[in-house]
Amino acid sequence: MEVVVDMAGTDWKSALAALGAISESDESENKSDVVRKKRVGVVYSTNPDYDYSVCEETEPETIPKHRQKLHLSMERAGRAGKTVTIVKGFVGTDADIKALCKLLKQKCGVGGSVKNGEIIIQGDHRQQLLNILKKEGFQL
């Protein structure tokens, strides 16, 4: 016996549901998998009243520029001989550290990135970064 389904104007989930290959309960199970993945540390609980709460990390607030204590250093080790200048010690949100990184890259005319709370600028630009950061009001 052959089943013919008109696929025009329907999405693929509806078409599969019409064929019986997927049911609405399968879709809700997929959504519960997403919730299950967020549970960290608890695999299974026999307590029916147990609440699988997810603790979310909060970003630290950005402290004022004049209270930031930044450290400049130059590294070459582990970078295939390439020299980079690293700015450490920034306390704040990801958006603020990325904005500072963008400013430093533009002022120096080089590339760079933010990794693990550190700003990495390509090349040895310690003196130039020192002047830029002091001019912006940061404490070094």
pLDDT digit string (tens) for 26-62? Answer: 555 555 555 555 666 666 778 888 776 666 777 788 8
For residue 124, pLDDT beyond 70: yes
pTM of the model: 0.61
| 34-55 CB burial, b ≥16 within 10 A, e <16 | eeeeeeeeeeeeeeeeeeeeee
Long-range contacts of 13-18 (CB under 8 A, 24+ apart): none
**How many whole angstroms separate alpha carbon 114 and alpha carbon 98?**
7
Domain 65-136: assigned CATH number? 3.30.780.10
At which residue do the structure tokens 């550190």 appear?
118
Q: Where are the domains of the chain?
A: 10-56, 65-136
Phi, psi torsion values for 118, nearest 5 degrees: -115, 145
Q: Are 63 and 91 in contact (CB under 8 A)?
A: yes
